[in-house]
Amino acid sequence: MKLALLVSEGPYTHQASDSAYQFAAAAIAKGHEVMRVFFYHDGVYNSTRLTEPPQDDRHIVNRWAALKEQHGVDLVVCVAAALRRGIKDEVLAPGFRISGLGQLVDAGIKADRTVTFGG
C-alpha cells in the first residue's frame, strides 16, 4: 500500500509528531511505501535543524531525516506555513524540502491512503 502522511503539530508539544513517525516506521517495516510526509501548520517545526533536545530525549527531527535517508521518504514542508514561522531553506534539517500545497494534493492523488496526524 502506498501511504501519504500529513503532520500538523510540532515536535515536543503534541503527540502527533511521534505518532506519525512511529506509524511511518511501522508501515515501512510491514512492506508498505510511505511516499511523502507533508508538514503543515506547526508541523513545519519538525523540519528545523535548530532543534536541540536534551541528550536523554528523542530527537524527532533526526528521526525524520533518517527515514528519508534510509527509505527515500519525501519530506515536504509547506512553504507558506514555514515562512510564517521563520523557517527558510537555510534552517532545514537534511532531507527536508520546502514546497507548496500542490505536493499535498499530489500525494493525495497518488497514495492509496492519506493519514493525518494533529489537529
- Known catalytic residues are 78
Alpha-helical (H) ranges within 30-89 are 60-71, 79-84
Q: 96-99 and 74-78 as β-strands: parallel, antiparallel, unpaired?
A: parallel
Beta-sheet strands, E only, within the chain:
2-7, 33-39, 74-78, 96-99, 113-117
Give 82's DSSP letter. Answer: H
Say which amino acid occupies 101.
L
Beta bridge partners of 2: 33
